[in-house]
Structure 1
Amino acid sequence: MDSDTPESQFLTTDLQTLTLSTDPLTDQFGSLNDLAHELASLQDLATRGSWRSILDKVARARAQSLLNKPHDHLVYFTYNVLALTKLRRFTEAAAEIDSLEDLSSSRYRYEAYPKVYPNRVGSMVPFSLRWLDALMPIKLGRRQDGLDRLYCLLDFVRSKVKEKGEIGSVAVWKRREVFVINGIIGVHLNQKELSACLSLIKDLASRDHTDPVLVSKLGYIQMQMGDLEGAKSSFNVVQGLVEKEGQVGSEFRNLVSRNKALVYMVGKDYVSAVREYEECIERDHNDVVAINNKSLCLMYLRDLSDSIKVLENALERVPTVALNETLVVNLCSMYELAYVNHGEVKRTLSSWIARVAPDDFDSASTRI
């Protein structure tokens, strides 16, 4: 049963990367639809997890020749690959990517179409397509190929940080650098390659030691390495940063509380951990990490009935937020421990999930 493991802190998908090209245009237009054909609709479908609808929309746009500009084709191509990836159709997604030329090809640059894009230069390849291209070998089980591509992507992003820094437009690329590094850390962490993780996160932290989330991630890695005192020190820094900046929002206050709870969990002080998680949930009813981990702590305290109630209540109250594979796996594990007829209970849960879950939810998490 997984709790708030360090891996979960790095394996994320940032929907903001979906629509931004490598030379962002969004500041020049009033809406997403000005940026590409019916882009707002695609973004809305992605936000709601309607990946099959995206495949249908892309197919219809292609069949009806609705994509008139080269960059429209690339944007729709990217959403198509993303949808296939989310639906775990990795072989099809890889075949789509392989149908393209090298992403650095001149045909994917604005200056190759001067009549369509007068006075515009640079690549029209969405950053997320570069990300998916790097990630795909890992999804297909070719981990080393994927890592090589991710490190090449990191080099590319850093070259853009340097380039954009010289002309004063660097913020987007710095966020992408952090995004790629987090992805690389997640891959290393999955194989317990902790030295590589520590090196990468320390490099990030050395450049921005005032980011509470970043310093927390350093603490998670230190905890994985068995350096509990180092983790405590990092978590104390996080608390100091939040208090110094006067952060009163639930996001950062909950970060501090979850860090404290992790230390309690490592020390098997589950009662204190539950108290911290309850404070998180009181501040933010949608804090799924706190909900999940409170349930686990109650289970470790042999209060299986209440641990099940915590997860069931969360699914009933905020299904769109709480419905994730880790939480469902944990709930089904608890059903197996609590009920003789757990198969029937899990089938009821599975039927409910089928009605409310996004397209990419892994139905195998109910283990029926």
Structure 2
Amino acid sequence: MTQVTDHGGGVRSLAVPIPDNPLGTTLVHVVDTDRGPVLIDTGWDDPASWDVLTAGLAACGIPVAEVHGVVITHHHPDHHGLSGKVRDASGAWIAMHALDTEIVRRTREHKAERWFAYMADKLEACGAPEEHVALLRAARTARRSSGLPQFAPALPDREIVPGELLDLAGRRLRAIWTPGHTPGHVCLHLEEAHPAGLPGHGRLFSGDHLLPRITPHIGLYEDPDDATVADPLGDYLDSLERVGRLDPAEVLPAHQHSFTDAPGRVRELLTHHEERLTGLLTLLATPLTAWQLAERMEWNRPWEQIPFASRNIAVSEAEAHVRRLVKLGRAEAVAGSGPVTYVAV
């Protein structure tokens, strides 16, 4: 059974499963327009997910062939995965922010082995133990010899321009650039009165930027061709404050459920990250690598129980936080250290 929720005012959501993922589902939003339905995100590229998506559309009285367009909040596969199949079935256009489109283009053009080598080098520089890095190098070798096809997400047709209204006939949907989770993440502000008359300013499709009960992953913006030291956590915190000022009547996220009081949720997230930064400063009384920081940080389970892939994500998040401390002048890299260690100042 496909879970379909009618949010009123020509907006519905479909819960599309994410295989083997604790999040469970991606909420694909369906927005009626004068030229046909438009999807906000599409879900994971998996046969079962596709079946649920198309069944959900059918339950809304929409053959997939009638989808007019697809707006993607960010490039991650649980959001962008099925976009190509939707376009193949309907001729719909796909829109995405230019920075995430560049990631899609790079994914399509570069061999996966290059990414494995890059990540192995990054983990080594973060102080990961050799037995951990060796697993990534082994995965690179196994993929090279397996003959598996390259991962090729759909290349978008249109660019989402921050601050502008999207070209949706009969609707006012404005793009709000909210980097942090990815460099090109966007929220979408439906500048229309709430159908149930809730107080506030329209509705916000928040993607992964603003979720009701969990915090999105804030890691590093990975680009093997770019040596710029980005500040993803700083980007995210700035974006949070911008969204809080919108004060939407209701938030329609891509996971979990809709909710109200966006400014209150923004304050909770700002407090969470400030507490985490303060905790890291305490840890950095002694010089530590990003890997050692991740081992000591509080996660949803003990470090010993965190699986291989999730440890990579945790280390990326630890480095994103320590980069923020460095930018704020509250920590610094220890000169000449290798792997790089950081210390509070």
- Flag whether TM exceeds 0.5 (same fold): no
| Higher share in helix | 1
TM bin, normalised by shorter chain, reads 0.3 to 0.5
Higher-Rg member (1/2) = 1
Decide which structure has greater strand share.
2
